[in-house]
């Protein structure tokens, strides 16, 4: 499996430091409030779990699943809701947790859909941000790393359901997915 990795972009310790930093900022910003982390499945599950452990304000978690990739390496631009939230979010402070923002189309769809449910607020937390690929003006409220246009895997992110278990974020060799 490691033979398919072009290089390690962020190691486990660097990721942990960044997650703790983001959690401190979230805890500060939501002081005196309860926040609902909305984990965007499947790629964000490890990031969400780690973030959850470091946030010091009252926090709950729910999951949502959308698809715009299928088995491809680029977004199709067509977003499908695969699994909705389990709980109502009216008057709730919602924090969408994404592994990576690429085109921004999926996130724009999610934000608009959730805002229709009248939450107290909707913010976005993304571990990775590929700003050069953005097709809209979506910007996360909390961002871990701004990355170049590389196909990344590990720390929950996959290619064809492989590589999620890697403790680091790596760049997949193009010959693997081309």
Residues identified as active-site: 102
Q: How many CB atoms lie within 10 A of CB 175?
A: 8
Cα-based torsion angle of the residue sequence 53, 42, 9, 159 in order, rounded to the nearest 10 degrees: 160
Give the C-alpha separation, 124 to 143, whole Å: 8
Kindly state the helix (H) or strand (E) to which residue 108 belongs, with its residue range: helix 105-115
Give the C-alpha separation, 116 to 14, whole Å: 37
Cα-based torsion angle of the residue sequence 67, 72, 76, 82 in order, rounded to the nearest 10 degrees: -10
């Amino acid at each position: 499996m490691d033979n398919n990795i072009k290089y390690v972009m962020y190691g486990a310790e660097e990721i942990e430091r960044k997650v703790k930093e983001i959690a401190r900022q979230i805890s500060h910003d939501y002081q005196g409030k309860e926040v609902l982390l909305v984990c965007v499945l499947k790629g964000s599950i490890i990031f969400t779990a780690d973030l959850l452990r470091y946030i010091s304000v009252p926090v709950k978690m729910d999951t949502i699943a959308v698809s715009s990739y299928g088995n491809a390496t680029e977004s199709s631009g067509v977003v499908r809701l695969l699994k909705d939230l389990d709980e109502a979010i009216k008057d709730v402070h919602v924090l969408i947790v994404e592994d990576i923002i690429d085109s921004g189309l999926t996130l724009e769809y999610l934000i608009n859909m959730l805002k229709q449910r009248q939450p107290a607020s909707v913010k976005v937390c993304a571990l990775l941000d590929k700003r050069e690929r953005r097709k809209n003006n979506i910007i996360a409220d909390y961002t871990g790393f701004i990355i170049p246009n590389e196909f990344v895997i590990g720390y929950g992110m996959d290619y064809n359901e492989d590589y999620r278990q890697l403790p680091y974020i790596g760049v997949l060799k193009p010959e693997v997915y081309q």
